């Protein structure tokens, strides 16, 4: 599930633009239009009923002594002076009160809204024991240059105590292009590892038993192709599909919303995803066939509230697409997973993760009528916010990442990636990666935060913030439903406009110094010299990959490869549900077809997608 922030080079370039910033919409628009987001949770438009506050027990009246103490404090506070630089808003634009009390939890029913760990609605965690039973997986996202060089780093990370593998692909691979394609020139191996065929996957995973380690692959548009390479490699090594564990990101909707790395238009892309989910449900039962990702949405500039709402709306869309195909919800839903960003607003991030579990469980049980408990669970990976890191005083990024990682753990993540201090400048060096991994290990073993479950539960502020974010998400759901759903919203540019406004707002707050970024807009060091090692990817990587592609094409059975590609094109021409494209893609992988050839076989039918410009 772990994934690269957005592509590294794109992040570095974004530092000099207004769109870099990840900020809330203007205060007047901080909550979704249409709405009483902060006031009510309505059920409507087919959504699951929200936990109505009207049925909750009334809050107990405070004792006269406590009421008198509160009045006295309020008087003292009113007479005191707040600091002039105070800016009491979360990154989502939620006003922060000076003090939270039991009054802020009025209407909250602990049994309904909190429950216990491992029990509906899972606000407090998806497992009964959480980290007392099993520590979160430490899954550092890694990949660069050639498969051989990435394989060497994987072995070093596993030797240093990493407990899961996470593959980062380069931009051409993410876009479905082979390394010898003209559009790949200058980008091969720069932001991740180049994987052009099954041969590359064999080299990438050399010496790593796919039956013994969980693997995450951050790939979306061509996710089915990389999955085919992974399965074919396991098959050649004698590992049963049923023994494979891991996660494929495979979340195309957020690509149109945020990261912009797609291969085909939205509707045929959804077809491929449903085919992959159906295939994995039958043949690779321990694999998570999709990781519904808020991460890129946040990296593109959204607020926490938008990340929460848009990601869950994407998830509902995938569920509905599978149901329309006739899949059994309790067969596929237990393997749906999520991927969240952990940003700098510490308490808001914790509240977001708690709210996400509660919303997903309620909708899966009450709206989609899933019967299995496993179908209600939101299992997720968390990665610290790449967009919060800076090339100024880069050692400060170690501190930022540590607090973001801590928020992810206190929010109940199942696995975690910590970004490296140098990722705004280049792919991380070995030293930076080790510091990032040690950060996770210190949180796990030295701070005491994993010894008790959901330690911030009951906090007046955290619980109030959890409910507020839930309300804002429900308001967004109604708005999205009203425009015809997520795909219609993408086609109308709704999500892009919302995120753009939020990013612009945050940039303004930074420029006005309403939000202080240490070493960036305050506490500057004009004569700073960069004193950290930088990883450089040589241009020779591209030449090496081109030679590898040529060798694959020279040595494979080209007749069998051509037949497999033609069969894939023929299957794509059939109506959805009549032929499973994942089966044909796997056949192409076995025949050593390249990624670009497999994409091209489907492109004949599905065509390309060009996004309308939004200004």
For residue 125, the domain's CATH number is: 3.20.20.240
427 and 573 part of one domain: no
Q: Looking at the whole model, is its pTM more than 0.85?
A: yes
Mean pLDDT by 10-residue block, N- to C-terminus, for the chain (615 residues)?
Answer: 38 33 36 34 39 53 89 96 95 97 93 96 98 90 89 89 86 97 95 96 96 92 98 97 96 95 95 98 97 97 98 98 98 97 98 98 98 97 96 97 98 96 89 94 98 97 98 98 96 95 97 97 94 88 97 98 98 96 98 98 95 72
Domain count, the chain: 2
Which domain-ending residue is among 474, 490, 511?
A: 511
476 and 346 part of one domain: yes
Pairing of strands 290-293, 336-342: parallel
pLDDT at residue 13, rounded to an integer:
33
pLDDT at residue 612, rounded to an integer:
78
475 and 598 part of one domain: no
pLDDT at residue 428, rounded to an integer:
87
What are 167's two structure tokens?
Answer: 């593959």
Residue 370 within a domain: yes
398 and 468 part of one domain: yes
Residue 262 within a domain: yes
488 and 356 part of one domain: yes
443 and 504 part of one domain: yes
Which residues have C-beta within 8 Å of that of residue 552, sequence separation ≥ 6?
196, 197, 199, 592, 594
Q: Are 243 and 211 in contact (CB under 8 A)?
A: yes
254 and 133 part of one domain: yes
Q: Are 440 and 381 in contact (CB under 8 A)?
A: no
Q: 569 lies in which domain range? A: 559-606
Separation of alpha carbons 491 and 486, rounded Å: 9
Determine if the peptide bond prior to 121 is cis (ω within 30°): yes
Residue 78 within a domain: no
Which domain-ending residue is among 472, 493, 511?
A: 511
323 and 439 part of one domain: yes
Residue 357 within a domain: yes
Count of residues for the chain?
Answer: 615
Residue 218 within a domain: no
Separation of alpha carbons 583 and 360, rounded Å: 30
Separation of alpha carbons 264 and 225, rounded Å: 13
pLDDT at residue 611, rounded to an integer:
84
288 and 415 part of one domain: yes
Q: Are 263 and 610 in contact (CB under 8 A)?
A: no
Residue 310 within a domain: yes
Closest CA to 269 of 326, 211, 222: 222
Residue 522 within a domain: no
Separation of alpha carbons 221 and 173, rounded Å: 10
pLDDT at residue 4, rounded to an integer:
40
pLDDT at residue 238, rounded to an integer:
97
What are 532's two structure tokens?
Answer: 């950290």
Residue 396 within a domain: yes
Q: Are 403 and 418 in contact (CB under 8 A)?
A: no
> Rounded to 5 degrees, what angle do the CA atoms 339, 343, 345 make?
135
Separation of alpha carbons 378 and 364, rounded Å: 10
497 and 587 part of one domain: no
Pairing of strands 379-384, 415-417: parallel
274 and 344 part of one domain: yes
pLDDT at residue 471, rounded to an integer:
97
440 and 332 part of one domain: yes
């Amino acid at each position: 599930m772990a994934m690269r922030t957005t592509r590294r080079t794109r992040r570095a370039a974004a530092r000099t633009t207004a769109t870099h910033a990840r900020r809330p919409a203007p205060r007047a628009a901080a909550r979704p239009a249409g709405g009483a987001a902060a006031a009510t949770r309505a059920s409507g438009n087919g959504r699951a009923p929200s936990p109505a506050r009207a049925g909750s027990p009334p809050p107990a009246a405070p004792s006269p002594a406590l009421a008198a103490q509160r009045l006295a404090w309020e008087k003292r506070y009113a007479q005191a002076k707040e600091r002039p630089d105070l800016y009491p808003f979360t990154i989502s634009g939620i006003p922060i009160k000076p003090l939270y009390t039991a009054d802020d939890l009025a209407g909250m029913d602990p049994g309904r809204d909190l429950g216990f760990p491992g029990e509906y609605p899972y606000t407090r965690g998806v497992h009964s024991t959480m980290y007392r039973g099993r520590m979160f997986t430490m899954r550092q996202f890694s990949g660069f240059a050639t498969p051989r060089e990435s394989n060497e780093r994987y072995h070093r990370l596993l030797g240093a105590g990493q407990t899961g593998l996470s593959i980062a692909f380069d931009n051409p691979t993410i876009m479905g292009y082979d390394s010898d394609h003209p559009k790949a020139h200058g980008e091969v191996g720069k932001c991740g590892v180049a994987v052009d065929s099954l041969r590359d996957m064999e080299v990438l995973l050399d010496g790593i038993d796919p039956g013994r380690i969980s693997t995450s692959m951050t790939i979306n548009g061509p996710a089915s192709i990389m999955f085919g390479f992974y399965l074919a490699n396991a098959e050649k090594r004698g590992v049963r599909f049923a023994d494979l564990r891991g996660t494929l990101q495979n979340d195309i909707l957020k690509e149109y919303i945020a990261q912009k790395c797609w291969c085909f238009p939205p509707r045929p892309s959804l077809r491929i995803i449903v085919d992959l989910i159906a295939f994995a449900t039958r043949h690779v039962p321990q694999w998570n066939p999709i990781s519904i990702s808020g991460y890129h949405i946040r990296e593109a500039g959204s607020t926490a509230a938008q990340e929460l709402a848009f990601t869950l709306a994407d998830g509902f869309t995938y569920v509905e697409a599978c149901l329309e195909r006739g899949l059994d919800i309790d067969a596929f839903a237990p393997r749906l997973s999520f991927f969240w960003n952990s940003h700098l607003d510490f308490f808001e991030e914790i509240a977001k993760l708690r709210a996400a579990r509660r919303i997903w469980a309620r909708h899966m049980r009450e709206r989609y009528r899933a019967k299995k408990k496993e179908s209600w669970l939101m299992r997720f990976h968390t990665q610290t916010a790449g967009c919060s890191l800076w090339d100024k005083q880069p050692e400060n990024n170690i501190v930022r990442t540590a607090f973001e990682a801590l928020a992810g753990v206190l929010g109940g993540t199942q696995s975690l990636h910590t970004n490296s201090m140098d990722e705004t400048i280049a792919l991380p060096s070995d030293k930076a990666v080790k510091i990032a991994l040690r950060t996770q290990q210190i949180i796990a073993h030295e701070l005491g935060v994993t010894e008790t479950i959901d330690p911030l539960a009951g906090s007046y502020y955290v619980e109030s913030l959890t409910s507020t974010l839930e309300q804002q998400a429900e308001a967004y759901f109604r708005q999205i439903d009203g425009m015809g759903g997520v795909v219609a919203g993408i086609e109308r540019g709704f999500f892009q406009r919302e995120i753009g406004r939020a990013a612009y707002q945050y940039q303004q707050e930074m420029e006005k110094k309403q939000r202080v970024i240490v070493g960036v807009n305050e506490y500057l060091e004009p004569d700073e010299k960069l004193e950290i090692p930088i990883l450089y990817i040589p241009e020779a990587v591209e030449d090496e990959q081109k030679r590898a592609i040529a060798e694959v094409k020279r040595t494979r059975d080209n007749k069998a490869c051509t037949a497999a590609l033609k069969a894939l094109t023929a299957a794509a021409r059939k109506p959805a549900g009549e032929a499973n494209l994942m089966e044909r893609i796997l056949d192409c992988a076995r025949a050593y077809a390249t990624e670009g050839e497999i994409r091209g076989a489907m492109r004949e039918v599905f065509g390309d997608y060009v996004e309308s410009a939004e200004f």
